[in-house]
Amino acid sequence: MLIVQKFGGTSVGDLDRIQNVANRVSATKKAGNDVVVVVSAMSGETNKLVRYAEHFSANPSRAEMDMLLSSGERVTASLLSIALNEMGFDAVAMTGRKAGIVTDGHHTKARIEDINPEVMNAAVKEGKIIVVAGFQGVNENGDVTTLGRGGSDLSAVAIAGAIKADLCEIYTDVSGIFTTDPRIEPKAKKLNQISYDEMLELASLGAKVLQNRSVELAKKLNVNLVTRTSFSDEEGTLITKEENIMEAPLVSGIALDKNQARISLMGVKDRPGIASDIFTKLSDSDVNIDMIIQNKAHDGTTNIDFTVPVGDLNDAKNIVDAFVASGDIEADSYNEKICKVSVVGVGMKSHSGVAAKAFSTMAKENININMISTSEIKISMAIDEEYAELAVRSLHNAYELDK
Amino acid sequence: MLIVQKFGGTSVGDLDRIQNVANRVSATKKAGNDVVVVVSAMSGETNKLVRYAEHFSANPSRAEMDMLLSSGERVTASLLSIALNEMGFDAVAMTGRKAGIVTDGHHTKARIEDINPEVMNAAVKEGKIIVVAGFQGVNENGDVTTLGRGGSDLSAVAIAGAIKADLCEIYTDVSGIFTTDPRIEPKAKKLNQISYDEMLELASLGAKVLQNRSVELAKKLNVNLVTRTSFSDEEGTLITKEENIMEAPLVSGIALDKNQARISLMGVKDRPGIASDIFTKLSDSDVNIDMIIQNKAHDGTTNIDFTVPVGDLNDAKNIVDAFVASGDIEADSYNEKICKVSVVGVGMKSHSGVAAKAFSTMAKENININMISTSEIKISMAIDEEYAELAVRSLHNAYELDK
């Protein structure tokens, strides 16, 4: 098999851990596989460099940040390649440039536009182990760019797609994807398999193992993704397309997102296009809106409630307050003490009754559901934050995810 | 003026010092000059990375070492550029690649083959301050290379030559070139000017401010070099071509090299080509031979004495011992307790009596001269190491260098 293995900052956090990674790569290679490794910076390094930059400027220029931050991954890649060479392998370290990763021009959050896999393919053909510095590429001017948060995962997935790898293993400090957060429900079980779409829902709902950008790219490029831990030999979770999953369970997991705030708009004037005005302005300011409820009041005005990530709340407030000031909205209010609990599962597509069970479970626990949103494969409920853990445990139990 | 300013590791050793460098660059720019800055890695960084590599391998692959070590300069260049931008300047950080520095393929000790100054020239024309990561370039495959010890100085000189800078300032922690080492002779005075050739002699004879590779390149490219300190505004020493120096003094300085060993070959067989054999073998092993004396003995055999740097002594011993074993030489002996004291000055070319004064000064102090070698602009004497400081002080006084 041709396997891409990606090791994050914690997995390469010190020299002993880098040696540990070398041993793991060695075992994979010795088992007869071809291996391309993608590494992050040693944990703490990127933050240190960011602190250094912030010492000089609150708003450092982005091209300079990319030249600065891309250095951490180069260090890890060189060291790992040196370790592998010492162990008798023919290893070669590559920068993002050398690996052929071409991005757009958005410094510090570039998007991968293309990968020219010729250099990597040739090295694999020669039996070499390639160690790529993750998180980075070059734009059309040949300047270094970085891919933003989770960038090394993206590098790994994009490379796996470009070289047509059989598997892309993402090593982190957790052993896979769980039916829910084990810190909330100790009976949570690790999933062997999950579909891209379920993973996307779980990730956007608070499961922090993988970022959506990486899962989306894996789905697009049809890359079989595995998340597993670098600290043991435990099998991880395979994220693949739905057709590859033999028996999809009704529900795969329960996700919790505490990072939500609710905005309530009272007495929105009954004027055509006003809701559109409000949400266009919010969207232009990159405020991420999730659930929306709209109720018509008896006096002809409308109440609109919606949720946003807590981080977007201030931007949203400024926009909404302006509508209140202009008289288009009578009043607004905010509630940060809410959370979103979600039930996720591809099985929902073909089974009814999943939503009914969620609502009845909440009712049994006397938890009031403030808002509901659904998709083909998930049901999300906004509830008071104080009931978050109770709701997760009850749902986990109701869908028998510990079995 | 167009000025290249190079700051070494100590000058950019921490964030405050980088800010200090930014202030200095700012002052130069505000005085109406165009500035290209070349920086080293923060002091300690390169050594740390070397230690990291050595943790994994006693003999790490050189291409990987270059990818590893080149990262330190990138960090400093990015940070300095960020600091300058924050101060309101239009600064841009460049890697060696971006600055157009092309080297041969000798990883970890590459030679600069060419500089394509178009990108730098365009940026200067736009009024930008360029901050170049020193010590690095790319080979014809586009892989990062590093220039070896003193590499950032070389980058600066080569860039100054390529962009036709009026001046190349090398900032270190010493304030310039002195008539001799002030730790030996407190009356040593800083030179305002010195010729390339004198500097080359002084550098090869132990003055550690500049390496010969940089001075040779400056001479070749006709770059006016200034060494000065980044810790004060004190003027430094201009190193330039002889014609630019108004009144060349008879003697510019006294150099001391304690890093010498003497090898004595007794009873070298009187066979044609034997001396050539010995010195060819030594040269093939990169043993650096300096002074040579040959005496014919009464029995028809020959004694040959020569000096080598202490670091080359072991290699030299192995070669010489083989000649003893084969009977071509009767015996050999070694003396590490010697040193070389040199009197350097372009004025010697046109004045006689300089050598005579050196010998009489030694005689006055009862210091025995073991070996002598001379060039157009220097007289070197090998003496017992215990007299090193006495010899330096006496010569410094004899040539009135404190005046």
Residue B95, chain A, CB below 8 Å: the answer is: yes
B170-181 average pLDDT score = 90
Q: Are A261 and A382 in contact (CB under 8 A)?
A: no
Q: What would the pLDDT profile of B233-287 be if each residue is shown by its tens digit?
A: 899 999 999 888 877 778 999 999 998 999 999 989 878 888 889 999 999 988 8
Specify the amino acid at residue A141.
N
Computed over every residue of chain B, the mean pLDDT equals: 92
pLDDT at A32 over 90: yes
Q: Are B152 and B73 in contact (CB under 8 A)?
A: yes
Q: Are A227 and A172 in contact (CB under 8 A)?
A: yes
pLDDT at A206 over 80: no
Eight-state DSSP code of residue A150? T
Lowest mean pLDDT among A92-96, B32-36, B174-178, B339-343: B174-178
For chains A and B, count residue pairs whose Cβ atoms are closer than 8 Å.
Answer: 110
A326 within a domain of the structure (yes/no):
yes
CB contact under 8 A, B85 and A64: yes
Quickly tell me which residue has 């200034």 as its tokens. B226
Residue A136, chain B, CB below 8 Å: the answer is: no
Residue A75, chain B, CB below 8 Å: the answer is: yes
Q: What would the pLDDT profile of B387-397 be if each residue is shown by its tens digit?
A: 999 999 999 99
Q: What would the pLDDT profile of A145-191 be if each residue is shown by its tens digit?
A: 999 888 999 999 999 999 999 999 999 888 899 999 888 999 999 99
Alpha helix ranges (H) inside A126-256: 151-162, 196-204, 212-221
Q: Are A256 and A344 in contact (CB under 8 A)?
A: no
A236 within a domain of the structure (yes/no):
no
B181 within a domain of the structure (yes/no):
no
Q: What CATH number does residue B291 fall under? A: 3.30.2130.10
Residue A85, chain B, CB below 8 Å: the answer is: yes
Q: Compute the C-alpha angle A62/A64/A67, nearest 5°.
A: 115
Quickly tell me which residue has 């004045």 as its tokens. B351
pLDDT reported for residue A348 = 85
pLDDT at A297 over 80: no
- DSSP states along A45-64: HHHHHHHHHHHH-SS--HHH
Neighbours of A339 (CB within 10 A): 23
Q: How long, in residues, is chain A?
A: 403
**Packed helices B388-398 and B354-364: angle between N→C axes, nearest 10 degrees:** 130
Lowest mean pLDDT among A219-228, B35-44, B246-255: B246-255
pLDDT category at A208 given cuts 50, 70, 90 is: low
Eight-state DSSP code of residue B109? S
Cross-sheet strand order for the sheet of A225-229:
A91-94, A129-133, A34-39, A2-7, A167-172, A225-229, A237-240, A193-195
Alpha helix ranges (H) inside B180-337: 196-204, 212-221, 274-284, 313-325
User: Among residues B153, B173, B193, which one ends one of the domains?
Assistant: B173
Residue A162 and residue A29 share a domain: yes
Residue A83, chain B, CB below 8 Å: the answer is: yes
Residue A264 and residue A168 share a domain: no
B114 strand-pairing partners: B102
Residue A167 and residue A22 share a domain: yes
Residue A161 and residue A20 share a domain: yes
Computed over every residue of chain A, the mean pLDDT equals: 92
B141-170 average pLDDT score = 95
Residues of A in contact with B81 (CB under 8 A): 61, 64
Q: What would the pLDDT profile of A48-73 be if each residue is shown by its tens digit?
A: 999 999 999 999 999 999 999 999 99
CB contact under 8 A, B85 and A15: no
Instruction: Using DSSP, state whether A306 is helix, strand or coil.
Output: strand
pLDDT at A143 over 80: yes
* pTM assigned to the model: 0.83
Residue A150 and residue A259 share a domain: no
B333 within a domain of the structure (yes/no):
yes
Gap between the Cα atoms of B384 and B403, Å rounded: 28
pLDDT reported for residue B333 = 93
pLDDT at A246 over 80: no
Nearest CA in chain A to B58: A86
Gap between the Cα atoms of A23 and A232, Å rounded: 12
Q: How deeply is A275 buried, as exposed, middle or buried, from its count of CB atoms within 10 A (0-12, 13-18, 19+)? A: middle
Residue B167 and residue B281 share a domain: no
Gap between the Cα atoms of A292 and A273, Å rounded: 16
Q: Are A138 and A198 in contact (CB under 8 A)?
A: no
Gap between the Cα atoms of A396 and A391, Å rounded: 8
Gap between the Cα atoms of A124 and A91, Å rounded: 10
Closest CA to B95 of A60, A74, A181, A189: A74
pLDDT reported for residue A243 = 85
Residue B82, chain A, CB below 8 Å: the answer is: yes
Who among B53, B65, B82 is closest to A60 (CB)? Answer: B82
Residue B335, chain A, CB below 8 Å: the answer is: no
pLDDT category at B98 given cuts 50, 70, 90 is: very high
CB contact under 8 A, A56 and B18: yes
B248 within a domain of the structure (yes/no):
no
Specify the amino acid at residue B263.
I
Q: Are B136 and B94 in contact (CB under 8 A)?
A: no
The pair of structure tokens assigned to B132 is 């170049």
* Residues A346/A352/A354/A357 CA torsion (nearest 10 deg): -170
Residues of A in contact with B56 (CB under 8 A): 15, 18-19, 22, 79, 82-83, 86
pLDDT category at B346 given cuts 50, 70, 90 is: confident
Residues whose CB falls within 8 Å of the CB of residue B355, separated by 6 or more in sequence, listed in order: B374, B379
Q: How deeply is B233 buried, as exposed, middle or buried, from its count of CB atoms within 10 A (0-12, 13-18, 19+)? A: exposed
Residue B146 and residue B274 share a domain: no
CB contact under 8 A, B65 and A77: no
Gap between the Cα atoms of B182 and B203, Å rounded: 15
A391 within a domain of the structure (yes/no):
yes
Instruction: Return left, alpha or beta for B238; rule: phi > 0 is left, psi -120 to 50 is alpha, else beta.
Output: beta
Residues whose CB falls within 8 Å of the CB of residue B90, separated by 6 or more in sequence, listed in order: B126, B127, B128, B129
Q: Compute the C-alpha angle A145/A150/A152, nearest 5°.
A: 65
B241 within a domain of the structure (yes/no):
no
pLDDT category at A384 given cuts 50, 70, 90 is: very high
Residue B355, chain A, CB below 8 Å: the answer is: no
**Packed helices A212-221 and A196-204: angle between N→C axes, nearest 10 degrees:** 170
Residue B85, chain A, CB below 8 Å: the answer is: yes
Q: How deeply is B4 buried, as exposed, middle or buried, from its count of CB atoms within 10 A (0-12, 13-18, 19+)? A: buried
Here the ipTM equals: 0.81
Nearest CA in chain B to A60: B82
Neighbours of A278 (CB within 10 A): 22
Gap between the Cα atoms of A357 and A395, Å rounded: 9
pLDDT at A300 over 80: no
Gap between the Cα atoms of B229 and B23, Å rounded: 14
Nearest CA in chain A to B76: A68
Residues of B in contact with A97 (CB under 8 A): 142
Q: Are B287 and B320 in contact (CB under 8 A)?
A: no
Gap between the Cα atoms of B73 and B70, Å rounded: 6
A329 strand-pairing partners: A268
Residue A150 and residue A28 share a domain: yes
Residue A168 and residue A291 share a domain: no
CB contact under 8 A, B61 and A53: no
Q: How far apart are the first and last CA of chain A?
A: 33
B182-189 average pLDDT score = 92
pLDDT at A14 over 90: yes
User: Among residues B151, B173, B195, which one ends one of the domains?
Assistant: B173
How are beta strands A378-384 and B2-7 bridged, if at all?
Answer: unpaired
CB contact under 8 A, A49 and B93: no
Total domains in chain B come to 2
Residue with the bigger pLDDT between B244 and A397: it is A397
Residue A123 and residue A263 share a domain: no
CB contact under 8 A, B82 and A95: no
Q: What are phi and psi of B239, to 5 degrees?
A: -110, 120
pLDDT reported for residue B353 = 85
pLDDT at B203 over 80: no
A354 within a domain of the structure (yes/no):
yes
pLDDT at B140 over 70: yes
User: Among residues A173, A207, A239, which one ends one of the domains?
Assistant: A173
CB contact under 8 A, B61 and A82: yes
pLDDT at A11 over 60: yes
Q: What CATH number does residue A57 fall under? A: 3.40.1160.10
**Packed helices B62-86 and A45-56: angle between N→C axes, nearest 10 degrees:** 30
Nearest CA in chain B to A53: B79
Its domain, for residue A28, covers 2-173
Cα–Cα distance list, B231 to B11, B18, B211, B234, B375 (Å) = 8, 12, 21, 9, 36
Q: How long, in residues, is chain B?
A: 403
β strands within B248-386, DSSP E = 253-268, 292-296, 302-309, 329-344, 371-375, 378-384
CB contact under 8 A, A78 and B57: no
Residue B393 and residue B261 share a domain: yes
pLDDT at B206 over 60: no
CB contact under 8 A, A52 and B65: no
pLDDT at B204 over 60: yes
- DSSP states along A55-96: HH-SS--HHHHHHHHHHHHHHHHHHHHHHHHHTT--EEEE-T
Question: Which 11-40 residues of chain B touch chain A by CB within 8 A?
Answer: 15, 18-19, 22
Instruction: Using DSSP, state whether B131 is helix, strand or coil.
Output: strand
pLDDT category at B173 given cuts 50, 70, 90 is: confident
A390-400 average pLDDT score = 95
Closest CA to A45 of A80, A81, A8: A8
Who among B19, B61, B71 is closest to A74 (CB)? Answer: B71
Residue A88, chain B, CB below 8 Å: the answer is: no
